[in-house]
Amino acid sequence: MQISKRFTALFLAATMVITGVPELPLALSVQAEEVYQEATPETAQMQNTTVFEKALAAAQNENTPPAAKPLPSDLDGNEANNVVKIARSQLGYEEGNNNYTIYAADLGVTNNLAWCATFASWCMKNAGVSEDRRPSKSVLASSTGILTWYRDRGRWHRKNGHEWSYGQKSDDSPVDYDYEPKPGDLILLETQGGYGDGPDHTGIVVAYNNGTVYTVEGNTSEDAVSSREYSASSPKIWGYCNPEYYGSGSVTPDPTPSGAWISLSNETVPHAVLQGNTFSIGGTITSSSNLEYVGICILDYQGNEVVTAKSSPNTTSYNLKELDNSVPFGSLSSGCYTYQIEATNVQNHHFEQLYNAYFYVYNQGDADFYANIINSKAWKHTENNNNNFQIAVEGNTNSLRQVWHFVQNGDGSYNIYNCYDGRALGVDSDNIVTLDSPNVGWYMLWDGNGQMFMANNGNKVMDMTNNDSAPGTNVALWSLCQRSKSRLQCQ
pLDDT at residue 327, rounded to an integer: 93
pLDDT at residue 9, rounded to an integer: 40
Distance CA 109, CA 116 (A): 13
pLDDT at residue 371, rounded to an integer: 85
pLDDT at residue 25, rounded to an integer: 44
What does the mean pLDDT of the chain come to? Answer: 81
Does residue 260 or residue 176 have the better pLDDT? 176
* pLDDT exceeds cutoff 60 at 43: no
Proportion of the chain in helix, strand, coil states, percent, rounded to 5: 25, 30, 45
Query: Pick from 172, 181, 115, 132: which is nearest to 148 by CA?
Result: 172
Predicted confidence band of residue 467 (pLDDT cuts 50, 70, 90): confident
φ, ψ of residue 436 in degrees (nearest 5):
-65, -35
Beta bridge partners of 416: 406
φ, ψ of residue 87 in degrees (nearest 5):
-60, -45
pLDDT at residue 6, rounded to an integer: 39
Mean pLDDT of 347-356: 83
pLDDT at residue 205, rounded to an integer: 95
Q: pLDDT tens digits for 367-386? A: 888 888 888 778 888 899 88
* pLDDT exceeds cutoff 90 at 12: no
* pLDDT exceeds cutoff 50 at 20: no
For residues 201-224, one letter each, b for 16 or more C-beta atoms within 10 angstroms of the residue's C-beta and e for the rest, the string is bbbbbbbbeeeebbbbbbbbbbbb
Residue pair 332/275 in contact (Cβ under 8 Å)? The answer is yes
Is pTM beyond 0.85 here? no
Per DSSP, the three-state class of 38 is helix
Predicted confidence band of residue 456 (pLDDT cuts 50, 70, 90): confident
* pLDDT exceeds cutoff 60 at 15: no
Q: What percent of the chain has pLDDT over 70?
A: 82
Please count the residues of the chain.
Answer: 491
Distance CA 187, CA 203 (A): 5
